[in-house]
Amino acid sequence: MNRFGHSLKDVQGVYSGPEGKLWELVMGEQIHIGGMAQSRILAGKAGIAAGQRVLDICSALGAGLRFLVRSYGVTGFGLDGTPHMIAEAVKRTEEDGLSIEYRTGDASAVPWPDRSFDVVWGEDAWCYVEDKAKLISEAARVLVPGGRIAFSDWVEGPAGMDPQTAGRICGFMKFPDVLTREAYEGLLKSNGFSISSSEDLTPHFAGSVDLYIRMLTEQLTFDALRIIGWNEELFASLGGEMMFISEVAHRGGFGRCRIVGVKE
């Protein structure tokens, strides 16, 4: 599965250092495309309701769970492989006066028993997981019968990518690989899920990347340079990779999907 050699250690490095701070600068605490507006759409399609037990796999700073707990009255649980992100999630959750259980662990070995949750949730983060097949298998294991898996992720777009393009994007993003939406659907079906909803969001993704580029070049340049130690050469290089992602996204090669499945 790991075509490009990036591992959990690489992801931990990203989100424990300057790169993680840059992503939070342009995307906010939720660190995913579209922020709360996209979270609300996913929650609606997943039938999120008060009293449900929701596990966010790759929960990052916990902002997605805090949104679900505050807006829908769920009981939240978070799993992330980066200790720094878990520590920040615990701190920020306490500051918000909320109660969520967080654990540091591997998405391919979820540290909860069978049938523990009503919903498994993920937002633009499973692209970092090395063994996505095992992730989906673990999601099926910890869901109750009739439970839902609801996630968005960065994926190969409908137009496809050649290996060189995929390698460049995965190298920049520290992804171990990148799936297609159809590949995710296949993993879900092979693990006993029926597909409730599956959408290609590549045009919206492309516009969002353009927004982040404009923010960094027209408004947040000072803030970004401070984060990376005033290294303008590095700033220009990062900008060039973002422009490349934008170009590939606009031609449909790289994008984002949103899928909801029901455990049968």
pLDDT in tens, 69-100: 999 999 999 999 999 999 999 999 999 999 99
Does residue 2 belong to any structural domain of this protein?
no
CATH of the domain at 137: 3.40.50.150
Does the structure show a pLDDT above 90 at 4?
A: no
pLDDT at 209: 98
pLDDT single digits (tens) 216-250: 999 999 999 999 999 999 999 999 999 999 999 99
pLDDT single digits (tens) 146-188: 999 999 999 999 999 999 999 999 999 999 999 999 999 999 9
Q: Rounded distance, CA 211 to CA 35, Å?
A: 13
Does residue 13 belong to any structural domain of this protein?
yes
Does residue 213 belong to any structural domain of this protein?
yes
Does residue 218 belong to any structural domain of this protein?
yes
224 and 152 Cβ atoms separated by less than 8 Å: no
Nearest to 201 by CA among 42, 10, 30, 11: 42
What is the rounded average pLDDT of the residues 193-203?
98
Does residue 102 belong to any structural domain of this protein?
yes
Does residue 3 belong to any structural domain of this protein?
no
- Domain range for 259 is 8-263
Question: Which secondary structure element, helix H or strand E, spans residue 152, and what is its range?
Answer: strand 143-156
Alpha-helix runs per DSSP H in 47-180: 63-72, 83-95, 132-142, 163-173
pLDDT at 2: 45
Question: Which secondary structure element, helix H or strand E, spans residue 79, and what is its range?
Answer: strand 75-80
Does residue 1 belong to any structural domain of this protein?
no
Residue 194 β-bridge partners: 262
Does the structure show a pLDDT above 90 at 16?
A: no
What is the rounded average pLDDT of the residues 119-138?
97
pLDDT at 18: 84
47 and 148 Cβ atoms separated by less than 8 Å: yes
Give the number of domains in the chain. Answer: 1
Does residue 115 belong to any structural domain of this protein?
yes
pLDDT single digits (tens) 38-60: 999 999 999 999 999 999 999 99
